[in-house]
Amino acid sequence: MIGLFQNRGKGNVDALFWKRVAKLVKHVIPTYTGKEMQYIVLLSILLVIRTMMSIWLADVNGKIVKAIVNKSFS
C-alpha cells in the first residue's frame, strides 16, 4: 500500500485519478434513473438554493450594517 503513493506529489489529478473516479461512480450510481441519482439531483438543487439564500442574506445584512453606520434608520 505504501508503494502506491510513492513519488507522487499532493493533489495529482491525472488519468489514473479520473479512471478511479469513473469506477467509483459506476458503483455509486448504477443507473441514471435510480434512487441514487435522484438523491444526488435533489441534494444538488438544495445546495444551489442554500447558496443563493446565503448570498441574499449576506446582501441584506450588508445593507443593514451600512444603514446603521450611516445612521439612516429608514
| Encoded amino acid at 5, one letter | F
User: Looking at residue 60, what is its pLDDT?
Assistant: 95
Q: Please tell me the distance from the alpha carbon of residue 37 to that of residue 51, in angstroms, as a whole number.
A: 21
| DSSP 8-state code for residue 30 | S
Domain ranges of the chain: 32-74
- Please tell me the number of Cα atoms within 13 Å of 47 on its side-chain side: 6
* pLDDT tens-place values along the chain, 74 residues long: 455 555 556 677 889 999 999 999 888 888 888 888 899 899 999 999 999 999 999 999 999 999 889 987 76
Q: Residue 41's pLDDT is what? A: 92
> What is the pLDDT, as a whole number, of residue 58?
96
